[in-house]
Amino acid sequence: MPSIRRILVAVKDPAARAQPAVQKAAQLAAGLGAKLELFHAICEPIFIDALAMTAKPLREVEDEWQARHLQRLEKLAARLRDSGLEVATSCDWDYPAFEAVVRRAQRSRSDLIVAERHATRHLAPWLLRFNDWELLRRSPVPVLLVKSGRRWQKPAVLAAVDPNHSFAKPAKLDAAIVKAATAVSAALGSKLHAVHAFVPDVIDVRHLDLDDPNLWVHIESRAAAHARRGFERAVASAVLPQARRHLVGRHPADAIPEVARRIKAGIVVMGAVSRSGLKRLVVGDTAERILDSLACDVLVVKPADFANRVPARSRGVQLIASPGLT
């Protein structure tokens, strides 16, 4: 993962009173010395018959909407500039929202996207909605998904690594995860933790006595030793005391959220890969379960060779006929 010098904030609603994504992006920018860009994608469709009733050209209507949203973004930016941050604003007619954000990040050469989780009516309020999932799946740029509205106060940062690559993660992805987590924790003045969750039975048993009554004890012991060696290598670049290195012999989907809750993590940094063939847009079952289980903010890092499948050209305004007229 490259150094974070440009941060794109996907502002879901420029008129909203609470802007946790903007607030947290500003905290990161201040600590990293990064530039901010507040971006809003206008995804609302324009109904053809309603446009006709205004007696205005389409371009004029587009410009009015865009100017109104930019004015609101500028109000947000002005407060941040008063604190010494360098902040730009932008607003495009484009859809769907996740594609618009990726396109803007690519054009502005952003190193990080910060986006607020869309509200949901699920019983579990942290469950993700379609736009959130698609942004995480499609973006080649790292995405910090803000799931909690609480302001960061030196939050614990948890780097989730998989040095044994049990779930088909590229070897270099762990280094990118640790680098990103280290940068974020330093920027926020917080403590860095790391976790490696492993499944005890995934080892080479060729040299074990299969008739040994204590076979499972030996399997667990050997698996733990193997996992620890890989874990130590993965976090070697981080200044990390043993007390903040969490090696857990459980499935990652269970272990990572549990460790995050125990250390009261404010941010979990994890990696995700795309799949080929029919599953090319899927982050991965394990990653998806973890993302939905975490109530804290999540920074998702992709491999350097992650393929960007979002078209470069904006879609512009979406013109549709009003319901009942088709």
pLDDT of residue 122: 45
What confidence score (pLDDT) does residue 281 get?
Answer: 39
Sign of CA dihedral 146, 149, 155, 160: negative
Tokens of 237: 């670049």
308 or 40, greater pLDDT:
40
Q: Distance (Å, rounded) from C-alpha 220 to C-alpha 306?
A: 34
What per-residue confidence (pLDDT) applies to 204? 55
Number of domains in the chain: 1
* Mean pLDDT value across residues 128-142: 85
Q: Supply the pTM of this predicted model.
A: 0.87
Asked, for residue 1, whether it belongs to a domain, the answer is no
Q: Is residue 326 part of a domain?
A: no
* Residue among 314, 325, 322, 326 nearest 45 (CA): 322
- Separation of alpha carbons 325 and 83, rounded Å: 51
Residue 272's CATH number: 3.40.50.12370
Strand-pairing partners, residue 92, are 41
The string of pLDDT tens digits covering residues 64-92 is 999 999 999 999 999 999 999 999 999 99
Per the prediction, the chain carries an average pLDDT of: 85
State which of 73-82, 134-143, 159-168 shows the largest mean pLDDT: 73-82
Specify if 325 maps to a domain.
no
Tell me if 276 is assigned to some domain.
yes
Q: Is residue 281 in a domain?
A: yes
CA dihedral for 91, 97, 100, 102, sign (positive or negative): positive
Lowest mean pLDDT among 121-130, 150-159, 190-199, 314-323: 121-130
- Per residue in 10-30, pLDDT (tens digit) is 999 999 999 999 999 999 999
**Per-residue model confidence (pLDDT) at position 167:** 52
- Residue 11 inside a domain? The answer is yes
Q: Looking at the domain assignment, is residue 271 inside a domain?
A: yes
Percent of the chain with pLDDT over 70: 82
Q: Within a domain: residue 54?
A: yes
Q: CA-CA distance, 144 to 286, in Å (whole number)?
A: 18
C-alpha 250/C-alpha 292 separation (Å) is 18
- For the record, the structure tokens of 324 come out as 């009942």
Closest CA to 258 of 250, 150, 288: 250
Q: In which band, very low, low, confident or very high, does the pLDDT at 291 lie, cut at 50, 70 and 90?
A: confident
What domain range is 303 assigned to? 6-320
Q: What is the pLDDT of residues 88-120, one digit of tens each?
A: 999 999 999 999 999 999 999 999 999 998 665
In tens, the pLDDT along 223-250 reads 788 889 999 999 999 989 999 999 999 9
